[in-house]
Amino acid sequence: MSNGKAIQALDLHKSYDEIQAVRGVSFDVRQGEVFALLGPNGAGKSTIISMLCCLLQPSQGEAFVMGHSILKEPSEVKAAIGVIPQEVALYEDLSARENLIFWGKMYGLRGPALKQRVDEILELIGLRARQKGRVGKFSGGMKRRLNIGIGLLHRPQVVIMDEPTVGIDPQSRRNILDNVKELRGEGMTVLYTTHYMEEAQELADHIASMDMGEIIAQGTCDDLIKIVGECDRVDLTISASADRVLETWKATPGVYQVMPEDGKLGLLVDDSNLVLPKLFESASGAGVRITWVDIQEPNLEAVFLHLTGRALRD
Partner 1 sequence: MKALDIALKDLTQSFRNLSVLAFIFLVPVLVTGMFYLMFGGLGGDDDEGFALPRTEVQIVNLDAGGLPADAGFLASVPQGSDLRGIHSMGEVLAQFLQGEGFAEVMAVTAAPDAASARTAVDSQEAAVAIVIPQNFTAALIDPTERAVVELYQDPTLTLGPSVVKGIVSQFVDGFSGSKVAIGANVEQLNDAGLAMDAAQLQVLVAQYLASAAGQGRQQIGGESRLLAVVSPTGEGDASPLVGAVGLIMAGMTIFYGFFTGPSSVQSILSEDEKGTLARLFTTPTPQSTILGGKFLATALTVLIQFIALLVFGSLVFGIEWGNPIAVGLVTLGIVAASPAFGIFLMSLIKRARQAGVVLGGVVTLTGILGLASIFAANRSPAAKLVSLFVPQGWALRGLELAMNGGGAGDVLPAVVALLAWSAVFFVIGVTRCRKRFA
Positions touching partner 1 (CB under 8 A) are: 53-55, 57, 75, 78-79, 81, 83, 85, 87-91, 93-94, 98, 102-103, 105-108, 150
CA distance 72 to 86: 26
CA distance 33 to 43: 23
Adjacency order of strands within the sheet including 68-69: 19-30, 5-16, 60-65, 68-69
Q: How far is the CB of 79 from partner 1 (least distance, A)?
A: 4
Q: How far is the CB of 114 from partner 1 (least distance, A)?
A: 11
- Beta strand 81-84 with 68-69 is unpaired
Nearer to partner 1, 75 or 171 (CB): 75
Nearer to partner 1, 6 or 215 (CB): 6
Q: How far is the CB of 56 from partner 1 (least distance, A)?
A: 10
Q: How far is the CB of 84 from partner 1 (least distance, A)?
A: 9
Nearest in space to 151 (alpha carbons), one of 142, 139, 160: 160
In sequence order, what DSSP letters do the residues of 132-157 get, joined into one string?
A: TSBGGGS-HHHHHHHHHHHHHTT--S
Nearer to partner 1, 47 or 272 (CB): 47
CA distance 88 to 97: 16
Nearer to partner 1, 84 or 221 (CB): 84
Q: How far is the CB of 48 from partner 1 (least distance, A)?
A: 14
Q: How far is the CB of 313 from partner 1 (least distance, A)?
A: 24
Nearer to partner 1, 53 or 203 (CB): 53
Nearer to partner 1, 53 or 207 (CB): 53
Q: Which helix (H) or strand (E) holds 115?
A: helix 111-124
Residues 6 or more apart whose Cβ sits within 8 Å of residue 86: 46, 162, 163, 164, 166
CA distance 207 to 218: 5
Contact 259, 313 (CB under 8 A): no
Q: How far is the CB of 83 from partner 1 (least distance, A)?
A: 4
Nearer to partner 1, 51 or 259 (CB): 51
In sequence order, what DSSP letters do the residues of 151-190 get, joined into one string?
A: HHTT--SEEEEESTTTT--HHHHHHHHHHHHHHHHTT-EE
Q: How far are the Cα atoms of 99, 268, 298 from residue 232, in angstroms, in the given order? A: 48, 6, 5
